[in-house]
A and B are shown apart, each in its own frame.
Chain A
C-alpha cells in the first residue's frame, strides 16, 4: 500500500498521480475501447458467475419475508406488530426513514456532485442512483402498510371521487405523499435518461438477438448525434439542478412528520438539516457497502479506485460531523429550553429503560467513525471501510429508533406511559426489505450498465480536443 508520504519514499504505486500525490480517479492505460469492453462485458457476457446466482437466490429468499410478513399483516392487521398506544410508531416508521435516508446519497452523488463538477463521481453515480431507487422501493412499502387499511392508501392522493372527500394539505402526511412520490419519479427518470447512451452501446455490442432487441428498445434509437448530446447534456444538468433541492426537501419533509408534532424531542427546528445530513451519512455508508464487493468481484478496481473510497469516507466524515453537532444541540436545547418535559425526555433517552439504544447510537455513529476516519490509512483500507459502513448504518438505524421510540413511550402524562417491544413480524418484514434490496441490486448489476460508459469516456485523456479549432467566440449562433 502506498500510504507513505512522498518525502520518505519515492512514489512507485501507478495509482498515485505523481503531480498531486492523490490517488488517480481511473487507473492509467485505459482507452475508449477498454472501458467500454470492461463495463459492457459484465452485462453482455454469457457466463454469468455462479456467485451471482447464489446472491440472487439468497436475496430473493430473504425478500420472501416481505411477502409473508405483509400477507399475515393484511390478514390480521397491525396488531401483529409491536405498535401500541403510546408507542404508535414502531419499526414501520423507523425503517421508512432509514431506507429513504439511504437513498439520499445516490441523488447527492448523481446531482449535487455533478453540479460541483466532481468528475470522480462518474464511476459510482449509476449504481448509487440504482441504490436510491431500490431504497425508495423498500421505504415506500412501510408507510403504506402502516396506515392500517392499505387497500385505501390511494385516498392520500387528490383525485375526484364520489365521496367528495379530498386530502388535507396542512398535514405532513399529505406533504410526505408529494415529496416521496416526486422523489421516486424524478430518481427513476434521471436514472433512465442517464442510461440511454449506454443502452445504445449495449445494443451495438450485443450478439444475442434478444439482448439486441431489448437494449435497442431501451436505447430509443440513440445514435450519439451531437445535436442530441447537447440537448441531453442540458437536460441532465437541469435534472441535476432540480434533484438537488428535491433531495434536500425530501428528508426535510420527513423530518416535518416529527417536528410538526408537539412532542418533546420532536418539536425542534434543527430536525430538517440534521435529518438531511444523517441521510447522506447513511447513504454514503451504503454506497461503500455496495462499492467494495462490486469492485472486487467484477474486477473494477481500475474504475472504482481508492480515490473514490477515500472521497466517500471524507463525505462521511463531514456529514457525520453535522450529525454529531445535531446530537449535541439536542442535548443542549433540552437544557437551555428550560422545559421540564424536554429535559426529562433527554434524561430518559440517555438513562431510561431504553438508554442502551442511545449509547449504541453514540458509539456506532459518532465514537467509532468520527475518531477513525481522520486517518488516511484507514480511509483507504478497504476491509476497515467495509466494516465501518455496516457500523454506521446500524448507528443510523438506531438514531431513528431512538427518535421514534423514546419520545413516544414516555410522553407528557406518566399515567399514559408504556413501552415498546418489536415482535417477530416487525423483524421479518424489516429483514425482508434488506433481502428485497439485495435482490433488486443483483438484478441491476447483471442486466444494466452499472458504470456510465459515456461519462467514463469523458474522463479519459484522449477526449482532449487540440487547441486551434473553432471556439464559441469566433462563430455566430444558430438556434434549433
Chain B
C-alpha cells in the first residue's frame, strides 16, 4: 500500500460511554458509515450504534473444530487399521470408542486455535501502525478511561469543517484531526 497523506479522520474524545454511544448513534443517523469507536473495555451499546454485532469468529471456530475432528479420527483410523495394525488382546483394529478421546481433544484444539487466530486475523492484528495513535490524546485515554469516536475521511459525508461542526455539538472533551 503506498503511504497515504493528509487527514485520516476526526477524533472526538468523550468522558463517559453514554456520551459516546449517543454521538455514534447520531453520526450513523446523519449518514456517516466509515467510523469507529475506541473504548478501554467492550461497550456493547457502541457496537449496536455502529450496527456491528455479527462476527464471523464463531463460523471460523466451527470450521476449525470440524477439521480437527475429521483430522484426528481419520488419522487414528488410518494408523491403527492400515498403517500400523497391532493386535492388542484380540480387540478390533477399528476400535472407534477409544479413538473418540484423541478426536475429542483435537476438535477442541483446532477450534480453539481457530477462534483465537481467526479473531486476530479478522481484526487485522498484529498491526504495527495505525493512524489513530497519532492523535496526541489517544494513548493517554483509549486504553484507560476515555471514549473515542473517529469519523474517517474516507467517508463520502466527510468534510473537515462540516464534520468538525457536527462533532462539536456533542459534549466532547476535544475534537482533533488525525493525520495518516
Contacts and interface: CB of A to CB of B under 8 A. Distances in A.
Nearest to B80: A169
Contacts of B40: 32, 36, 201, 224, 454, 457
B32 interface: no
Interface in B49-66: 49-58, 61
Contact of A476 (B51, B76, B111, B130): B51
Given A228-B123, A232-B123, A470-B49, A201 B144 contact: yes
B41 A221 contact: no
A381 interface: no
Contacts of B37: 225-226
Interface string A456-473: 011000111110011110
Interface string A196-234: 110011011100000000000000111111111111111
A3 interface: no
A164 interface: yes
B109 A186 contact: yes
Contact of B41 (A174, A193, A203, A457): A457
Interface in B70-114: 72, 75-76, 79-80, 83-84, 86, 88, 91, 95, 98-99, 101-102, 104-106, 108-109, 111-113
A210 B61 CA distance: 35
B146 to A, nearest CB: 9
A242 B60 CA distance: 14
Dominant SS among interface residues on chain A: helix
A167 B80 CA distance: 8
A430 to B, nearest CB: 27
A457 B141 CA distance: 13
A454 B41 contact: yes
Contacts of B42: 226, 229-230, 232-233, 454, 458
Interface residues of A, number: 74
Nearest to A167: B79
A170 B88 contact: yes
Contact of A182 (B44, B49, B106, B127): B106
Nearest to A459: B41
Interface stretch (B1-9, B13-21, B156-164, B166-174): B13-21
A234 B102 CA distance: 26
Given A169-B79, A178-B102, A466-B18, A477 B127 contact: no
Nearest to A221: B127
A235 B122 CA distance: 11
A3 B125 CA distance: 49
Contacts of A186: 108-109, 112-113
Contact of A231 (B38, B49, B104, B122): B122
Given A32-B144, A231-B55, A178 B122 contact: no
A204 B144 contact: yes
B103 to A, nearest CB: 9
Contacts of A475: 48, 51
A332 B43 CA distance: 54
A230 B57 CA distance: 10
Contacts of A458: 41-42
A465 B127 CA distance: 30
Interface in A161-175: 164-171, 174-175
Interface of B: 16-18, 21-22, 25, 36-58, 61, 72, 75-76, 79-80, 83-84, 86, 88, 91, 95, 98-99, 101-102, 104-106, 108-109, 111-113, 115-116, 118-120, 122-123, 125-130, 132-133, 138-140, 142-145
4 closest A-B pairs by beta carbon, nearest first, are: A32-B145, A220-B126, A235-B119, A221-B127
15 contacts: A166-B83, A169-B76, A171-B88, A182-B109, A186-B112, A201-B143, A204-B143, A220-B120, A222-B143, A225-B36, A230-B53, A242-B111, A470-B49, A478-B51, A479-B56
